[in-house]
Amino acid sequence: MDTMTPEERSILMGKIRGKNTKPELLVRSMLHRCGYRYSLHNKALPGKPDIVLRKHKTVVFVHGCFWHRHPDCKVASMPKSNTAFWQDKFERNVANDKKHRRALETLGWKVIVVWACELKDPEKVLRRLLKELTAERADEKFRYPPAEETLLIAAEAKAKYITQRKKRR
């Protein structure tokens, strides 16, 4: 049974953002510090990707584990009340994610998904992003940040993320 009144629940759910979330800001910060420039939430592309790197024909979705049902993640739990509603909602979200991914790939875009829980280790996420983005540019002169710099970029981004999260509480 829900411990909140419908009005309280509505207020709480209304505070959940779809854009510019803390995990998304962390990924954007790391990419920007590595010299990548991007656009945000392009309405012309299927699914309005969180980050669009036109030069690399790549999009990045930063998915929340709960809303997008990250497999084998403890955050992707099922609410105990109104389970039929939530089951339907989650199935629609996952189906839309697959549909948008297929549409983008059909248009020739490379799709990268970063899960919010992966950002507990931002260095690992940053290395994966850089690997994906530099794979096509192997012949070009591209400055791949050395390990120490990658670690520093990720650590600074994580520190900023944690500080902002503490302020919010």
Mean pLDDT by 10-residue block, N- to C-terminus, for the chain (169 residues)? 73 73 91 92 95 95 91 86 89 95 96 94 91 67 57 72 65
Residue 54: CB atoms within 10 A of its CB come to: 12
Helix (H) / strand (E) element for 1: namely: none
Domain 17-164 in CATH 3.40.960.10: yes
Tens of pLDDT, residues 122-162: 989 999 999 998 875 544 444 555 556 666 777 777 777 66
- pTM to 2 decimals? 0.76
For residues 164 and 22, the answer to whether their CB atoms sit within 8 Å is: yes
For residues 122 and 30, the answer to whether their CB atoms sit within 8 Å is: yes
Strand partners, 114: 62
Q: What is the pLDDT of residue 146?
A: 56
Q: What is the pLDDT of residue 16?
A: 73
